[in-house]
Structure 1
Amino acid sequence: MGIRSDLDANFDFEIVDEFLDHYSMMIDSMEVMVIDLGKENMYKRSISELFRVFHNIKSASSYLKIEPMSKLAAFVESELEELREKEPPINEETINWLLEVSDMFAAWQDDLKLDNELSKIKFSLLKIPDTDK
């Protein structure tokens, strides 16, 4: 039994379906927002949107008891909170880290669609990049 079957067995279909729809939209826009962090004129908007995306994923996945997703989203959200205070643009190391994070959430999207077990979090994602320029 995969993650989707688990969710369907434990939660109302409409809640799961709504989560999957919103999650898909957030994943589809995540990479563009990360890339836009490197553009000074897009930084504030993108960092705020990314923070909102990770906050929403954290809340929804916590409610649905998808623990790895909830924990990684909370971890990234706290890093984004710090980045909100930095002057744009951010360094390449941080952008690459956020792109890897985006890839992890996209892999989980595939796991959800295919009703697989959730892929394991890559250890490299748990190392916060040096955010200084």
Structure 2
Amino acid sequence: MGIRSDLDENFDFEIIDEFLDHYSMMVESMEVMILDLSKPNMYERSVNELFRVFHNIKSASGYLKIIPMNKLAAFVEDELEALRQKKPPISDETTNWLLNISDMFAAWHDDLRQDNELSKIKYSLLKIPDLEK
């Protein structure tokens, strides 16, 4: 039994379906927003949008008791809050870290669709990048 079966057992179908629809859209948009952080004219919009995405994932995964997703989203949200205070551009290390974070959330998206157990968080994602350029 995978993550989707666990959700189906504990929550109303409409709630799960709505979460999956929104989660799919957020995961699909992450990479473009991350890459746009390197563009000075797109930085503020992208960092604010990414913050909103991770805040929404944090809230929804908390409600659905998807603990690893909730904790990683909260961790990333904190780092994005710090990036909101910085001026562009961000470091390559930060960009790569965010792209790896995006890959983790994409893997979880696949886990949800295929009703697998959630993939384990890679420890390298828990190392905060140097936010200075």
1:128 equivalent in structure 2: 128
Please report how far the alpha carbon of residue 21 of structure 1 lies from its aligned counterpart in structure 2 after TM superposition.
0.1
The alignment covers a number of residue pairs equal to 133
| Aligned positions of 1:68-87 closer than 5 A | 68-87=68-87
Counterpart CA distance in 1 for 2:37 and 2:87 is 11
Give the match for residue 119 of structure 1.
Answer: 119
1:4, distance to aligned residue in structure 2 (A): 0.1
Distance in structure 2 (CA, Å) of the matches to 1:65 and 1:73: 13
TM-score, scaled relative to structure 1: 1.00
Amino acid at match of 2:131: T
Aligned residue for 1:39, secondary structure, equals coil
Instruction: Report the Cα distance in structure 2 between the residues aligned to 1:12 and 1:87, rounded to whole angstroms.
Output: 43
Cα RMSD after superposing both structures: 0.3
**2:53 aligned residue:** 53
Matches for 1:5-44 after TM superposition, within 5 Å: 5-44=5-44
Partner of 2:40, secondary structure, is: coil
Structure 1: 5+ residue stretches without partners = none
In structure 2, the gaps of 5 or more residues are none
Matches of 2:45 and 2:132 in 1, distance apart?
A: 20
SS at match of 1:47: helix
Deviation at 1:82, TM superposition (A): 0.4
Q: Once the 2 structures are TM-superposed, how far is the Cα of residue 53 of structure 1 from its aligned partner?
A: 0.0
Other structure's SS at 1:86 match? coil
* TM-score of the superposed pair, with normalisation by structure 2: 1.00
